[in-house]
Chain A
Amino acid sequence: MSEPLPVVEAKRRKPTGWRKQDAIRVSVVAWLAALWIYGAMRVESDVQPFLQRAWPDATHQRIDDDTYRVVALDESLLGYAAVGTASGYGGPLRVGIAMDTLGLVQSLAVLEHRETPSFFNRVLRDRFLQRLVGRSTDDAIVLGQDVDAVTGATYTSLGLTQSVHRAARRIATDELQVPVPPDERRVVFGLPEILLIALFALGVLQRQLRGRRKRAMRWITLLTGLVFLGFVYNAPFVLAHLNMVLVGYWPEWQTHLYWYILILGLLLFKAKREWNVYCYDFCPFGALQEVMGAIGGAKPRKVRWPAVLLWAQRLVTLAAISLALVYRNPGLTSYEIFGTAFRLEGSNYQFALLAVVVLMSLFVHRPWCRYLCPLHKNTAEGLFDNTRRIARTTWHKVRPARAA
């Protein structure tokens, strides 16, 4: 008598189709779509303030969208200005340069960027822009050749260098008609990329193992992730990566191969119980918490008000993504404390947050991942994973009606 009950239950549920959670998910998707449109309508930065600052008493004649001729009041040619764009860490970087008639970069300024504020400030503090100004058309202006990167902010350094390189090159070839070194688009494929592929492979391999071997393999990947992806390269997966996809900034693959491998690995290697291999097996901050937990004997702890904490985690993530869409700045609201832990970069709030999380990790198993991380399955499933299921359900409901 009791056997048919689940079937009856299933039959009763199926026609109702949408559940409360589905309505919430659709609302979230609609909300993000609306913000995306709003963000897309925001105007680009204006180059005029830079031109006026570079040559205050001159006339700026527009040659094309990103190039200007600058003439004095007596009509003599003073030089040229151009805007160069390249991919930074969080999205496109726009740099304006002012070049004299001899082909020397007299001044420059960043017109627009999408970098994480603490890392951008680090680049400024290291006087990186001073390394780019004063370059001439004879210089390669290539990171790693004649320009040194700022440690821990390689992508920002690369984006700034490429922006200046492109702007200078355009003036040199189109206006000054001088020969310039050939433009080589080098594919950046080094140890971080190799390591990332190896860690994904080991994460997948680890699933096939059992017992002590499995645990040993997991600790190897965790510690490798902690040391290399954390402390050495500071290249963990962050909300900014996801925001870049949502905003629609696809960085140049030649320079951002690491980013593509990371996103592809997350999508391809979905673990059985976790939404991806990365979080469980080699996330550097997850590893840091597990090391602390091993010291303090941490374990999963019961909490009061779990629903409040779950929704706080989801709402904070939604707020961070929403603001990134509005400002078209993926890195702006990336609130993770990975850079704070591995490079000692971040706001005072992030340092306070890091202190609380690290102390809690001694007693609670991965408190950041479970209750705060914007990329935990709590939020990823709640916000994105079921979108496909809703689309499929809707399609199956609509299709019979169309056929009829």
Chain B
Amino acid sequence: MAQSSPGTRGVGPTLWSLLLMACVILVVLHLANAVRSEASGGEDLLESTFTTVEATR
């Protein structure tokens, strides 16, 4: 069932696949990070964007 075709023998196909899987993991980590920031962003947004004339001068 899981036999590889002649074109997928050798180091190359495995290397590309492992690199692509690493990319998928990086995407998942990025998404998790973005969602974590969003989930805890309510108060932070006001804090990080509140701007006054006094502070600008």
Contact = CB atoms under 8 A, between A and B. Distances in A.
Contacts, number: 130
B-side interface size class: 35 or more
Interface in A303-340: 303-305, 308-309, 312-313, 316, 319-320, 323, 327, 329, 332-333, 335
25 contacts: A53-B50, A106-B52, A107-B52, A108-B50, A109-B45, A109-B50, A124-B48, A129-B49, A129-B51, A301-B16, A303-B8, A303-B17, A304-B4, A304-B14, A309-B20, A309-B24, A316-B31, A323-B35, A327-B38, A333-B31, A347-B30, A347-B34, A349-B30, A356-B23, A371-B20
Interface string A98-139: 000000111111111100010000001000011011100000
Nearest to B20: A371
Interface string B46-57: 101111110110
A304 B7 CA distance: 10
A371 B5 CA distance: 20
B42 to A, nearest CB: 7
Interface string A342-378: 0000010110110011001001100100011000000
A301 B45 contact: no
Nearest to A367: B20
Interface of B: 4-5, 7-8, 12-14, 16-17, 19-24, 26-31, 33-35, 37-38, 42-43, 45-46, 48-53, 55-56
Most buried by B among A302, A308, A356: A302
A333 B35 contact: yes
Contacts of B53: 104-107, 133-134
A329 B35 CA distance: 10
Given A107-B51, A112-B45, A130-B51, 13 more contacts: A49-B46, A104-B53, A106-B53, A107-B53, A133-B53, A309-B20, A319-B28, A323-B31, A335-B30, A357-B23, A360-B16, A367-B16, A372-B27
A70 to B, nearest CB: 14
Contacts of B49: 108-110, 124, 129
Nearest to A131: B56
A108 B51 contact: yes
Interface string A237-258: 0000000000000000000000
Contacts of A76: none
Contact of B5 (A117, A130, A302): A302
Given A107-B52, A134-B56, A316-B24, A332 B35 contact: yes
